[in-house]
Amino acid sequence: MRRAPLVPPRPRRAAREPVVPMINVVFLLLIFFLMTAQIVPPAPFDLSLPNASGDEDTGQTALYISADGEIAFDAARGDAALAQAVAATQDVPLRLYADANLPAATLAQLLTQLATLGASQVEIVTEGS
């Protein structure tokens, strides 16, 4: 005859699921989304864009012009910014962020300067309506 033990045996725990594969998948997804995201640098000065309907912004490099005529492209300012923008966008359209309060004559003069420097395509970025 067998006697019952004084202390009952511990119940067996179920084997835990491994967490490492799930962590690996999460990190791979994080890296994927970071690599595929387009990070657009902020505008060098505040702009209020004109309203229009059309295609969405692609997020490439752009030329900025403020309401008072200040021009910027990356770190360059003024006429140097124009030359650098045209040189950087030979095969793709140059995106122009012009303030809505910029006089039309100033914008027309800027477009003429860009054409003289060799810009063949210029896209003016607007806000969606």
Structure letter (DSSP) for residue 81 = H
pLDDT at 29: 94
pLDDT at 23: 92
Sequence ranges of the domains in the chain:
51-128
pLDDT at 121: 83
C-alpha pair distances (Å), 79 with each of 55, 70, 72, 89: 29, 10, 9, 16
pLDDT at 30: 93
C-alpha to C-alpha distance for 63 and 74, rounded to whole angstroms = 8
Q: Distance between terminal CA atoms of the chain?
A: 89
Record the tokens describing residue 105, joined without a space. Answer: 């004559």
pLDDT at 27: 94
pLDDT at 32: 92
- Hey, what's the torsion of the CAs at 75, 81, 87, 89, to 10 degrees? 80
User: Which H or E run contains 30?
Assistant: helix 20-36
pLDDT at 53: 64
pLDDT lower than 70: segments of the chain = 1, 52-60, 128-129
